[in-house]
Amino acid sequence: MSDSPVLTHVEGRIGHLTFNRPKALNAFDSALIAATNKAMAELVADERVLTIVVSGAGRAFSAGFDLKESAARQTTGAAAWRQVLETDFDFVLQFWDCPKPTIAAVQGYCLAGAFELMLACDMAVAGQSALFGEPEVRFGSGAVALLLPWVTGPKQAKELLLTGADRVTAARALEIGVINRVVPDGQELEAATALARDVAAAAPESVRLTKRAINRAYELAGLRDALKVGLETDIEIESAENPERSEFNRIRREEGLQAALAWRDGRFGG
Ligand code: DAK
């Protein structure tokens, strides 16, 4: 298989985009982000394509932004964080803003930035063992694209984001309305593709204008401004020091990511 961080192919009227860093659980590093942006622009421009299915190679959809790369980058100060986080924000939001419907096919972990990206897709299908969540608050970090309160209710959004839960089951994700359906493991791509086929079989201009109208309803309710406030908050969180973040970073630097994750997760009931 190609070692490109993103794979694409077109099947009938459906464009497939697959995150392809399976050894790192498809963590979003800068190469994957750049390749995704390019691939999405090509799929949008491709007249054969009416709908885009987004998936991950290997055992996870994705474990979120790459924590090893961010450790090596050692970003400091609000201006530098703004640059990093605006890039991350645009990367996630392109799936919401895409003129063609986007459908996520999720297996395994779908965490943090990847959870936000899944939320930004118009629809999502998950295998029954998929696990979702946003662990950022557990290590003094924040959410870059605060879509969750728009997709589910405030109680559910707060429980998930304020505890940093990262083992939300597919059944629970369905219950709180952040995914569309749960299927047996291994059938998520097929089920997402079937959904994409139904969208692609409808009148393309009606689909395009209907997605635009739905998104506009959220724009009118203030979604874009609220997301910008969320982004500013994340810039504030990431560029300030706090004890949890310092300790997480120290362990990550001295003992590696696995040790830092074990320290982080050992403090919670699960
Ligand atoms: N980044 C980079 N590599 C990752 C990764 C990630 N987010 N998640 C997993 N991997 C890598 C692991 O390091 C491991 O690589 P090797 O050690 O084999 O080289 C490989 O993927 C397989 O992972 P595990 O061995 O850990 O697999 P398990 O099944 O045991 O556990 C897991 C899977 C997803 C539960 C666990 O890996 C995990 O909790 N991963 C972290 C998920 C996470 O917290 N994601 C949040 C992304 S943060 C910051 C800068 C930026 C950000 C935050 C802080 N600072 C400078 C402070 C960004 C925000 C985010 O999106």
pLDDT in tens, the chain (270 residues): 688 999 999 999 999 999 999 999 999 999 999 999 999 999 999 999 999 999 999 999 999 999 999 888 888 899 999 999 999 999 999 999 999 999 999 999 999 999 999 999 999 999 999 999 999 999 889 999 999 999 999 999 999 999 999 999 999 999 999 999 999 999 999 999 999 999 999 999 999 999 999 999 999 999 999 999 999 999 999 998 889 888 998 999 899 999 999 999 888 875
Q: Give the pLDDT confidence of 19-49 residue by residue, as tens digits.
A: 999 999 999 999 999 999 999 999 999 999 9
Angle at 26 between CA 1 and CA 226, to 5 degrees: 140
Residue nearest to atom 3 of ligand 1 (CA): 24
Q: Is the CB of 65 under 6 A from ligand 1?
A: yes
Q: Is the dihedral of CA 28, 33, 37, 43 positive or negative?
A: negative
Q: How far is the CA of 68 from the centre of ligand 1 (A)?
A: 8
Helices (H) and strands (E) in the chain, counts: 12, 9
Which residue type occupies 16? H
Of 252, 257, 265, 268, which is best to mutate to test ligand 1, by the most ligand atoms within 8 angstroms of its C-beta? Answer: 257
DSSP-derived 3-state class of residue 121: coil
- Angle separating helix axes 223-239 and 78-97, nearest 10 degrees: 150
Query: What pLDDT does 241 receive?
Result: 84
Structure tokens at 164: 């940093």
DSSP-derived 3-state class of residue 20: coil
DSSP-derived 3-state class of residue 183: strand
* CA atoms of 107 and 41, how far apart (whole Å): 25
Residue among 162, 63, 79, 73 nearest 115 (CA): 63
Q: Which atom of ligand 1 is nearest to the CA of 142?
A: 59
pTM to 2 decimal places: 0.96
Structure tokens at 173: 């994700």
Which residue type occupies 96? W
Structure tokens at 266: 């050992």
Q: Identify the DSSP state of 202.
A: S
